[in-house]
Structure 1
Amino acid sequence: MDLNQGQLDALVAIADHGSFEAAARQLHITPSAVSQRIRALEAAAGRVLVSRATPCRPTPQGEWLVRLGRQTRLLQVEASQALAAASAVELPVAVNADSLATWFRDVLAEAAAWDATAIRLHVEDQAYSQKLLRSGDVLGAVTSEPEAVQGCSVEPLGALRYVPAAAPALADRWRRGRSPDWAAMPSMVFNDKDDLQRELLRRQGITHAPAIVHQVPSSADFYAAVRAGLGWGMLPEPQASADLAAGRITRLSPDVIDVPLYWQRWRLDSARLSALTGAVRAAARRHLLRGRAGSDRTTPGPRI
């Protein structure tokens, strides 16, 4: 099967933008030309590659060619850069919110020194990160899933540790003897998928949710709300360490929850993707607990 890069580009543009017309605008050609490229590609493949619904989406067979189109385009851009072309390499990455708010910032700091490179972040949960990897929408992902997506490699990074904490005034108000009143004290959640607080309560023998549960779906704002005294929450230790040391927040118990994290990336011979992987490894070594990933699969996944 002979594959034409222009045809693959048309398929990728449809996957990205959801219609032949939007793909044509992206490629600076006519919708008729996009249709001709897709028909030619489908004829070469011997099967339908695009579902002509609204929005248009690749069929399962088409997703394989979308992935190939993204990979070959990345390699072409890198080769062009090596020959002094001006195109920027895009590195789309999926990462959970708490990693982005803490240790992954070191990755961004290193990437700031790379010429002609555009980092495109997707803040997504583990399940959707897997989908983004399968479709080729991202080249790499920080995930809690140890099983590699087909065509990708996976490696353990370490574990992000969470500690239960609250503002001192809130902790004092709900203290009963030497322990917090876990059953009554207002708590925080990031979203409906955030199981970290529930897991801590289960360890304390509490099987029901407190009467007041605040939801704040932003890592930085979740932290600020805990510090302001809105409720208690499980905070990433790297994020909370300075305020814990200064007494601006209080640790409620010695309990911890360690969430194992993994790096999944395409098996692709790309210098820029390899540099990104090296930056992820280095940042994880500095900030995550080593030897923890995969040790306790009963822990909740990363907050997203």
Structure 2
Amino acid sequence: MEIPLDLARTLAVVIDEGTFDAAARRLRITPSAVSQRVKALEQQLGRVLVVRSKPVRATEAGAPIVRLARQVALLEHDALAEFGLDEASARPISLALAVNADSLATWFLPALARVGERHPVVFDLHRDDQDFTAGLLESGTVLGAVTSQSAPVAGCLVRPLGVMRYEAVATPAFAERWGLVPGAADGSVLVALAAAPVVDFDRRDDLQREYLSGRGVDPHRPPRHYVPASNDFATAIKLGLGWGLLPAFQSSVELEHGGLVRLGGTPVDVPLYWQQWNLRSPLLDAIAEAVIAEARRELRT
């Protein structure tokens, strides 16, 4: 059985755009024509490939077809570039990558900027927790990801990036108000940690819970703020809304000048890895090298 690549590309555009109407606008055909192409592909393969929801999403059977279409598009771009054809630079190729919020807010974008200076490419970034970005690789949504998963996703290569170290911090006023002052008796600090408001990124953020468990505190007891943006999360802590764990990128200046204090306890280290599709692609390799080089400059080894 052969997979018609034109139909596979249409399916990928539908998933990228989220609706049949938006895919039709991008492809410059009617929504009915888009629907007919997807139905034809489903009939040929004998599987339902999309969940017709808003946004449209690929089924388990559709994910490998979407991944195939994206891989072919990347390899086609590389081939045109090697031939020196104008088509390779006339319209930049769009590549989807996944990255955790703290990396995105601190060290990741400079690496992409260097790639963009040398290659005709635009990036479609998907932000998710580092424990979940590998799932976007598995589904074919992205071709590369910063992840905490060291085991390679099927069909992918993995390379270590370094470690993001997080320390528990708060403003001096917040620490004093809640009895979290460094140097206080450990027992009283643990009682205070169970009562003091904590800032979480979202309900999947395990860093603060891991820290509390490591100090022998029930991680579910403290009241919680949820601030689902990395820079705003750091700002919430710096404004004294609560305590939380920050990497040095976001806390070193304030720690040096007294705007924040460390709450003690063992730092939480998060190893990060770069995973990408196992393709011989000069562009994908250039992205990987830039990301790895930047990570090795900025992360702990």
TM superposition score normalised by structure 2: 0.85
Native 8 Å contact 1:162 1:256 kept in 2? yes
In structure 1, runs of 5+ residues without a counterpart are 291-304
Q: Are the counterparts in 1 of residues 119 and 283 from structure 2 also a CA contact under 8 Å? A: no
User: In the TM superposition, what is the alpha-carbon distance from 1:159 to its structure 2 partner?
Assistant: 1.3
Structure 2 distance, partners of 1:228, 1:144, is 29
Whether contact under 8 Å (2:193, 2:222) holds in the other structure is no
Q: Which residue of 2 aligns with 1:164?
A: 168
Mean Cα displacement is larger for which, 212-221 or 36-45?
36-45
Shift in Å, 1:233: 0.8
The one-letter amino acid of 1:61's match is: A
- Residue-by-residue CA offset, 1:244-285 (whole Å, 9 max, x unaligned): 112221112152110111111011122111111001111111
Q: Give the percent of matched residue pairs that are identical in Structure 1 and Structure 2.
A: 45
The answer for the alignment partner of 1:231 in structure 2 is 242
The alpha carbon displacement at 1:59 in A equals 3.9
Is the contact made by 2:180 and 2:193 (CA closer than 8 Å) also made in structure 1? no
1:205 to 1:40, Cα distance in 2 relative to 1, 3 A: closer
The 5 A counterparts of 1:31-180 are: 31-38=31-38, 40-42=40-42, 44-45=44-45, 47-51=46-50, 53-54=52-53, 57-81=57-81, 82-85=84-87, 86-126=90-130, 128-175=132-179, 178-179=183-184, 180=189
Aligned with 1:119: secondary structure? Answer: strand
| Secondary structure at 1:113 match in 2 | helix
Quick one: structure 1 residues 48 and 201, their matched pair in 2 at CA, closer, same or farther if it must change by over 3 Å? closer
What is the CA deviation profile of residues 54-86 of structure 1, one whole-angstrom value per residue up to 9, with x for unaligned ones?
455444333222111111112223333431220
Contact 1:77 1:87 (8 Å CA) reproduced: no
Q: Return the alpha-carbon distance in structure 2 between the equivalents of residues 124 and 77 of structure 1.
A: 27
Which residue is equivalent to 1:287?
298
| Change beyond 3 A, Cα 1:33–1:215 | closer
Between the aligned partners of 2:25 and 2:6, the Cα distance in structure 1 is: 14
- Of 276, 282, 288, the match for 1:271: 282
> Within the alignment, does 1:204 sit opposite 2:215 as a pair?
yes
Q: 1:65 to 1:171 in 2, by over 3 A?
A: same
Could you tell me how far apart the structure 2 residues matched to 1:221 and 1:36 are?
45
TM-score where L is the length of structure 1 = 0.85
Matched residue, 2:267: 256
Query: What amino acid is the match of 1:142?
Result: V
Distance 1:268 1:49, change over 3 A: farther
1:205-236 Cα distance to aligned partner (Å, 9 max, x none) = 22254553222111111111111111111111
Note closer, same or farther for the CA distance 1:119–1:52 as it changes in structure 2 (3 Å cut). closer
Cα gap change, 1:49/1:163 in structure 2, threshold over 3 Å: closer, same or farther? same
1:98-146 Cα shifts (integer Å, max 9, x gaps): 1112221332342342342102211112464233212322110111112
Q: Which moved further from structure 2: 106-115 or 161-170?
A: 106-115
Aligned length: 289
Distance apart, 1:164 and its partner CA: 0.9
Q: Which stretch of the first structure deviates more once superposed, 102-111 or 251-260?
A: 102-111
Contact 1:2 1:44 in 2 (8 A): no
Which runs of 5 or more structure 2 residues have no equivalent in the other structure? none
